[in-house]
Each structure stands twice: as structure tokens, then as C-alpha cells.
Amino acid sequence: MSVKSEVDPIVIRNVGELVKTVLETYRSDNRIRWFRGHRQASWPVAPQIWRDGKYDAEGERVLTNLFRPRAASRRPSVPAEADYASWLSLMQHYGLPTRLLDWTRSPLIAAYFALWKYKHKGVEPADAAIWMLDPCRLNEIFHDTCLYFPMDSNTVQEMIKPAFKEGYKYDGDVFAAMAVEHDVRMFVQQGAFTIHPKIEPLNEREGHSRYLVPLLIPGSSVTEMAFEIQACGFIRGDLFPDLTNLALELTGDK
């Protein structure tokens, strides 16, 4: 399965090559990168809400406004009603389709998400990918700033309010924002987000190679590299620190 990109991917076959690639990138311009792991190299770099045409803007608002009133009974504390950034972050981390796309500051955590299923018998190896994002460059191109504000900033609030309120419109484009660590998952996964008001995947945009680079893990390497990531201490029960995922890890991580 090929990576859809306007540039050829960098091929990595083990953890050592991944670390070397990231280190060389950092040294080239001294800029932080974010990472996202895909189990299938062909998957688009797009948030779940806009994939496959299943939801539109109205469907997005329906989901967010059904989630909020039912969350309080399932969690000891929830964000304030108008704290849209915290709500959307919480929804994203618990699996609701949103306009947010998850990234991590750790290439090894991204590798875990790309590879963990390949440890299991019966899972056929396939090409996987890690996408490497320059969030400073992305925001320079789309918003004339190298800063990536936290999710609870006023700048970001305007980008996500349309996900909750009818009649609000944001005419800007994708933006890279730091997660506010209201949930322990956001902390341990070293989380960050891109916010996508528009549907087009990042890796299908003209000129995306200025801020987005694909790293391809060949199918012949995914199983061994998955065990390397585990040997480095990246396991499900720690990256998803709750009792359900601890039990899943101890009984086979499926």
C-alpha cells in the first residue's frame, strides 16, 4: 500500500533508523516536529469526522451536543459548558469523531500506534506509515505565525465553536495547536492537535511537502519493529492509563 504524497517517503525499517531520521531533521533547522502513526500507509491525514463523507457540519454538531449532556454522569468532572476546546479534546480522546487530528511530540509513541496490532498472530503485515509534521511551518503558511497556541486560547476557540453552535462560521484553514492536558491520556501520549475546518486531507493538498513528510515502514519490517517498540517500554496499559486498557494489555493487547 503506497503513501499518498507529493514526495517520496523516507523508508525506515527499525527504531534506530526512525531515531536517526528524526535527529537529522531536528539538526537541519532546530524546529520541533510532531508525529502521527498510521497502521495502513494509504490512510489519509484527515480527522475522522471528515473521512468517507459520513458526516457534514450539521452531523458534527449533533454528535457534540449529544455527547455533552451525557458525559457528566460518566466522569467525576467535565469542562464548563462554553469551554469548547476542552470538550472537543475530551471527545477526541474518547473516540468521538471530531475536527481534531491527534499528533504526538514523540516519534516512538507514533510508531506504537502505527505498529502495535502487528504483534498479534493472524494480522497480515502491511506497509505502515509515520507522518512527520512541522507545526511551526504549517501555521506560518496558513496563519502567518510560527506560534501554535494552546487549545484553550481565544484564537483556537473561534476555530472550534462551529462544531457546537449553529450560525457560527470559521473561514480560515488548518491550524496546529497544543493540547491542554485536562486528561491523563493527553499527558502520557504527549498530545497535540491539528484543527481541520475543511475536509481535504493534509497529504492531498498541493504544497504539503513544505510541512508534512511521510516515513514508510515496509510490511516486511512491521512485526519486528512492533516488538522493538514494546521492548522500549511503549505498551498499551501505560499509553492508555485506565483499568480497561490495563486488563487488555495483560490479556493480549487486542
5 belongs to a structural domain: no
Count of domains for the chain: 1
The helix/strand/coil state of 37 is strand
- On whether residue 1 sits in a domain, the answer given is no
pLDDT digits (tens, 9 = 90+) for 184-233: 555 545 679 999 998 899 999 999 999 999 999 999 999 999 999 988 88
Q: How many CB atoms lie within 10 A of CB 105?
A: 17
Pairing of strands 128-133, 175-178: unpaired
144: in domain: yes
Residue 3 inside a domain? The answer is no
Is 61 contained in some domain? yes
Is residue 250's pLDDT more than 80? no
pLDDT tens per residue across span 134-189: 999 999 999 999 988 888 888 888 899 999 998 887 878 999 998 876 555 555 45
Is residue 132 in a domain?
A: yes
Which residue range(s) make up the domain with 172?
A: 10-250
pTM greater than the 0.85 cutoff: yes
CA distance 178 to 191: 7
The residues, ordered by sequence, that sit 6+ positions from 102 with a Cβ below 8 Å of its Cβ are 36, 92, 93, 189, 191, 192, 193
Report yes or no on 100 lying in a domain. Answer: yes
Assigned domain for 4 exists? no
Whether residue 179 contacts residue 90, with contact meaning beta carbons closer than 8 Å, is answered with no
Instruction: Indicate the angle between helix axes 15-29 and 222-231, nearest 10 degrees.
Output: 80
